[in-house]
Every structure is written in C-alpha cells, then in structure tokens.
Amino acid sequence: MSTLVIEGGHRLSGCVEVEGNKNAALPLLAACLLTTKECVLTNVPRIGDVEVMARLLVDLGAKVEGIGTTTLRVRCPEIVKDEPDGTMVGRLRGSVLLLGPLLARRGRAQLAPPGGDFPARRSISTHLDALVSMGARVTPRSAGHEIDVPSGLKPASIYLYEASVTGTETALLAAATAPGTSEIRHAACEPHVVELCMFLEQMGVGIQGAGTTTIRVEGTAKPHGAEHRLWGDYIEAGSWAVVGAITGGDIEVKGARPEDIEVVAAVLKRMCFECETSGDVFRVTRSNPQAAGRITTGLWPGFPSDLVSLVTVLATQVEGQTLVHDWLYELRLFALEQLSGMKGDLFLCDPHRIIVHGPTRLKGRPLDSRDLRSGMALIAAALAAEGESRLAPLEMVERGYGRLVERLQALGAKVEKVGSG
C-alpha cells in the first residue's frame, strides 16, 4: 500500500493532457470478446482499472498486446472458460460487462460479485433484468451469479428500470449478437455509451439512436474486427481543472472534446471562475470565485456525479454558501466528512446533500481514500491546505488517474509517493 505525502499551499500551473475515457475503455475491451478477429484500441488510459480489465480478458483466453501502453491489440479466437477470475472481478465494477460477451460466445457465465466503489450499494439487477429479457436464466449463488442462455440470446424489447450506464452497455453487448432487432428504452446517453455504439457499428452491428434514450440494435452472428481511438476523458479533464482552481492556479487541460467538457465549464462559470474552451483545450485561470448556491448532479448531460466530490472541496475555497446535492449515490459524500478534520466548514444533511461555507483555510492531516473520486478530491483539498497531509491508499486513486504523482509534480505540486503496493 502506497501513501501520497502532500505539502499544501502551492499554486499549480501548467499543462496536462488527458488520455481516453476509463468508462469507455472498459466496455470497448469487453466488446473485443464478441469477435474472433483482431480489435485495436488507441489512446487507452494507462490506469489500474484498464489493466485489470485487460488481465481479465487474458484470463478468459484472449491475446492482449500492449498492456500498460496507450495501444491495445486484442484477439480472442476462443474463450476458454465462462468464469472470470474472482479476485480480479472483485477489484473492478466494470467486470460485469463481461456477461454479454460470455453469453454470446459460451452460452454461460459465472460472475463473482463485482468490486469497485460502493460495491454493496451498486446492484447489478438492471444488468440481469436486461439479460433475462433476452432469454437468460439467472441462478443466484453464495458468491455471485450463474447465468445461461439455453436457446441462445434472443432479440428483445427492453425497458431499463434505471438509466444505468453499465446496464445500458450490458444490454448493448448482449444484443450485438442476438439475431434480429432489440430495442433498449430508458437507455443512458453518456458519451462513453455513444463510443460503445460506434465501436459496435464498426464491428458490423446495426445501431440506431446512440446518444438518445431509445437505442435499436440489429444483431449480427459474426461481428468482425474494429479499430477505435478513444475520446479524451472529460471526467479526468474536469478533475485537473478543479484541482487547478482549488489551488488558485492557472491550468490548461488538453484532450477532451468541448461538447463533453461543457458540463464542467458550466458549473465553474456559475462559481465565477475564469475558464474558456478552444478546440480540445480547456483553460482555468486565477479568479475571484463566488458560491454557486446549489449544485445538483444529473444524468447526462447534467453535472456528473463523478465530479461532485471535487466540486464540494472547491466550494470550501469560494465566498458564500453552497448546497451540493448528489441524488445518484448515497456514500460518495460521506468520505468528505474528513474535510471537517481539515477545518472545513460543512454540514452533511443526509447521504445525498452537504452544505459548504467558504472560504476556509484548510489544515493538513492524514486522509483515507475510500473511493476513487473522493480520493482525488481529498488530494485536491490537501494541495490547498496549510501543512502536510498523507493520503492512503494511493492505489485507490491510481485506478482512474494514470501517472498521478508525475503529473502533479509537473504542475508544481510538492508531493511524494512512499511505500509500495
């Protein structure tokens, strides 16, 4: 286990470039299992979660070249087992995306409980319901689920109880090889869902309605190989922009599409931060920020829950009172109670709402990175605080932010990684 030692009080400035979206890389890797032909993904983020997913593909029989680089070549002539390694599955929420390809290629899948952030509160019932609609039988086991399709996957009319991103992706991956037309309603509209649809189209799957709440899928019995360059990760880009704003610095973030980053820019502008977008470059400069009053997460194109922790920390550094409301997840804001120990002025109303008064001068202290996004938010808080903070385990944050220490140091942060995992 590694610890990040942070000396706070230094303005960050400079340029940082983001790689592809983690939330696109995982379903795209799963999609590579649908075909026996080679698939190539470029601009792949070099992060822990992507490496775990790539290793899961290898465990199932795929040949994956380039693990740890930005280009992955995947070929899977044969899937040799229907039960992915339980230890790796327990580390990755996105492992649930293997269900569709396993059922398509093997007719059967056994999956241990997926891990990741808040595993006990993030059900896979939406995924299972979609698979049942396509002819799957689900048998609960003491350690996960066993699923089979006695007559093969069938096209279906599917209404998702919630507009789950991975639930939508599971339905897409399963429908991709089901002969005939499937319709997915109340589908998620996030950019990474659109990327999966585009990739499936390249593989020969018919897709209509990508980016809307109704997606129609014309399955194909033999998907072919495809190549795709991942779009820049707007969540990572927003994270770096907020880190710069929290420290009162000047940050230039490259690589995210302007139509994706505007969900972040809109909130920063409401808080009176000076920011602008030019092509794939997003700039945030020193400002005289004010409280936004209320910030609420929403389904795309609303403000993403993945950034709510960072914006909550940012609210401690602006003038006035901010109510932050994340109605999507119950536990994300709980990790920010640690800000009280840093002398932050905040009140946790309930599992979904927190009131923040600013500006306050935060004080360094030991910090616990309980999940990926709040871990990055606490790093940002430590960068703005007086004195030294120590955050562990750093590996939790490195799941989603590649070369984190190196990039922080390049921006002028006084940080050091100690220990090893």
Q: Count CB-CB contacts under 10 A for residue 273.
A: 22
Spatial CA neighbour of 264 closest among 241, 287, 244: 241
- Backbone φ and ψ for 295, nearest 5 degrees, come out as -125, 125
From CA 318, how far away is CA 329, in angstroms rounded? Answer: 25
| Cβ–Cβ < 8 Å for 25, 18 | no
Pick the catalytic residue from 49, 82, 85, 117. Answer: 117
User: Which residue in 375, 402, 400 sits closest to 49, CA to CA?
Assistant: 400
Short-list 160, 190, 189, 161, CA closest to 174: 160
Active site residue 371: no
Backbone angles phi, psi at 262, to 5 degrees: -65, -25
148 in Cβ contact with 132 (< 8 Å): no
Alpha helices, DSSP H, located in 107-190: 125-133, 165-175
Tokens of 10: 């230094």
| Number of neighbouring beta carbons within 10 Å of residue 224 | 15
Residue 325 · residue 352 · CB < 8 Å? yes
Residue tagged 């602008």 (tokens): 276
User: How many residues are present in the chain?
Assistant: 421
| Token pair of 84 as six digits | 């992915």
Q: E strands within 351-405? A: 353-358, 366-368, 388-392
- The closest of 240, 232, 211 to 280, measured between CA atoms, is 232
Q: Tokens in use for 256?
A: 């995210």
Structure tokens at 69: 């680089």
Q: What is the CA radius of gyration of the chain?
A: 21
Residues catalogued as catalytic: 117
